[in-house]
Chains A and B, each alone.
Chain A
Amino acid sequence: MPKRARESSTKREEVRRPKGFFLVRKREAREKRRSRRPAAIKPKLKRDAASPTPKSLRAFSVQLKVGERWMERRIQVKARGGAINPHSASFLHLSGDISPFSPKGGFITPPSLFSRMKIGEVANRKLVKMDGGKSVLEACRLMGRKRIGSVLVTLNGHPYGIFTERDLLSKVLAKGVDLRKAKLKDYSSRPLVMVDENYTVKECARIMSEMKVRRLLVTSKGKLIGIFTSSDLTRVLSRAPLDF
């Protein structure tokens, strides 16, 4: 064996790495890159089976890590056949209120998205209902326990009216009616003011001021899906940037 060839073979043996060396290095680099990312881009996706959305749109509740705690956000994304990548730009665009690029992993709504935010996305879907035959006292107890200002009154399972704090003050307490004997259906506000879910938040704010109401019931294809109150409007507004 010539001398030069023997030297090169020994050098090659010295440089030779153990099996899987490069794979380990790659994994380490990948983990290092991941650790640099903000914590907010680790959403847990959870399919909401009870959502009344059409097939083309899927409703998800996304859990975002903001600082140390997880926050839940309900969003709608367009299904494109396959799995949805929560980190994709289209997802973030559609979701509206998630911006994981902010240093603290916050959820400030960009002004452009805020103006286009639909009422169906931000309305409160947990409607508190009560039968009209029940007493006003029971309604007051429920409102106090749940820390809400109104109860949707139903008759035979269908929406009939809404009993609010104002009704309690002006119709019941001011007239000295007995709370135990007074039935809810006799003192509730009628008729209900309903808006379609496709209306934007700004439009709903205008409707509320024009019609002088604080609560709008949100419908989808004629079916009641949620309620949008002035406090919800404040909540949505608070998410917008301060220079908006």
Chain B
Amino acid sequence: MPKCSCCGRELKEKDKEKTWRECRYCGLPVCFNCTHYLGTTVRDLFGDHVEVVCVCGICKPRK
């Protein structure tokens, strides 16, 4: 059974993307209470845009 990488709460496999999500950077499961959202600049052929990604508390860069 997966556990939240930040708070250690037990998560259900069937509730993926409903109550928890995988961190975009480290790939570890993180519950919705511990998620942080990060705007990342994506450069493509026709310009650049900001894509919002879900990260855990450990992977979130500090200001």
Interface residues of A (CB under 8 A from B): 115-116, 155-156, 158-160, 191-195, 198-200, 202-203, 206-207, 210-211, 216-217, 219
Contact = CB atoms under 8 A, between A and B. Distances in A.
A191 B48 contact: yes
A49 B39 CA distance: 33
B61 to A, nearest CB: 14
A158 B52 CA distance: 20
Interface string B27-63: 0000010010101010000111111101000000000
B52 A200 contact: no
Nearest to A118: B17
Nearest to A202: B32
A207 B37 contact: yes
8 contacts: A155-B46, A158-B47, A159-B49, A160-B47, A194-B50, A195-B51, A203-B35, A203-B37
Contacts of B41: 191
Contacts of A194: 49-52
B37 A193 contact: no
Closest 4 CB pairs of A and B: A158-B46, A192-B49, A191-B49, A193-B50
A206 B49 contact: no
Contact of B39 (A115, A160, A193, A198): A193
Contact of A198 (B17, B32, B37): B17
